[in-house]
Amino acid sequence: MTSLHRRCLLGERLSGEVLLDCHAHIGRHSDYVIPMNRPEELADEMRRLNIRGAFAFQFTGVTGGEVQYGNDVIAGACRRVPGRFLGLTMVNPLFERDVVPELERCHQLGFVGIKLITHYQGYPTDGPLLETICAYAHEHGMPVLNHAWGAPLEDWLRKYPRCQFITGHWDPAHGHLTRQYDNLWICTCLPISHKSFERGLREMRIDRVMWGSDMSDLQFGVGLGPILMARAEDDVKRRVIGLNMLELLATCGIPAPPAWDSDQ
Task: Give residues in contact with Zn ion (CB under 5 A).
Answer: 214
Helices (H), 146-253: 153-159, 172-175, 194-203, 220-228, 234-238, 244-252
What does the DSSP assignment read for 110-172? T--EEEE-HHHHT--TT-HHHHHHHHHHHHHT-EEEESS--TTHHHHHHH-TTSEEEESS--H
In the bound complex, which residue of the shown chain has the CB atom lying closest to Zn ion? 214
Query: Which residues pair with residue 165 across a beta bridge?
Result: 144, 184
Any idea what DSSP says for residue 212?
Answer: -
Cross-strand pairs, 210 = 187
124 contacts 95 by C-beta, under 8 angstroms = no
Burial class for 234, CB neighbours closer than 10 Å (0-12, 13-18, 19+): middle
Nearest distance, CB of residue 63 and Zn ion, angstroms: 12
Of the pair 21, 214, the CB lying nearest Zn ion is at 214
Q: In the bound complex, what is the minimum distance in angstroms from residue 53's beta carbon to Zn ion?
A: 17
Which is closer to Zn ion, CB of 61 or CB of 93?
61
Distance in Å, CB of 161 to Zn ion, minimum? 26
Q: Whole-angstrom Cα distance, residue 123 to residue 95?
A: 10
As measured in angstroms, the least distance from the Cβ of 212 to Zn ion is 8
Nearer to Zn ion, 25 or 138 (CB): 25
Least CB distance to Zn ion at residue 54 (A): 11
Omega into 191 within 30° of 0, i.e. cis?
Answer: yes
Q: Which is nearer to Zn ion, 17 or 214 (CB)?
A: 214
**Nearest distance from C-beta of residue 112 to Zn ion, angstroms:** 17
